[in-house]
Amino acid sequence: MSVILQDAPFDPGALLLTFSRGREETGAIVSFTGIARAEAGRTTTLELEAYSGFTEIEIGRIEAQATARFSLHDVLIVHRTGPIAPGEAIVFVATAAGHRREAFEAADLLMDYLKSRAPFWKKEVGPDGERWIEPSDRDRTDAARWD
């Protein structure tokens, strides 16, 4: 189980390859990659702020809950911070479980949490200026499915 926050870009394919290696009892691995959208040119940069230390602990708490709930063999969460350009990966989640249903559902739960409740503050910067972003209604109802 690990949570990694980093300013530097990452390669989701390389992360998945490393995560998948050497597993003989894991029947299912699901991975999700979130990409920064350009929003039809309205966003030139996404700026993501975390509270170093606190953010990892809070995400780790949900990771532990998901691990217990879905009997996961392993989880990896990598999240970008700082300025992110459209087209770059923001978040990578991989789950490993004995069977596919648990791996799918755990990845789904973790992403709903990360998109709506994780301790980040997100700003969109574009030609018309900058604005702080809050979770959408859909992000909130998606996350509430797991409560």
Partner 1 sequence: MARVMLFGPLRDVAGWRERDLPAASITALKALLAAEDSALGLALYGKGVQVAVDQAIVRGDLALSANAEVAFLPPMSGG
Instruction: By CB under 8 A, name the one of 23, 85, 121, 128 that touches partner 1.
Output: 121
- Can you tell me the distance from the alpha carbon of 34 to that of 38, in angstroms, rounded to the nearest whole number? 13
Q: Does the footprint of partner 1 cover residue 2 (CB under 8 A)?
A: no
38 to 97, contacts with partner 1 by CB under 8 A?
48-49, 51, 53-54, 57, 79, 90-91
Which CB sits closer to partner 1, 48 or 96?
Answer: 48
Element (H, E) at 17: helix 12-20
- Report if residue 122 touches partner 1, rule: CB under 8 A: yes
User: Which residues make up the interface to partner 1 (CB under 8 A)?
Assistant: 34, 48-49, 51, 53-54, 57, 79, 90-91, 113-123, 132-135, 139
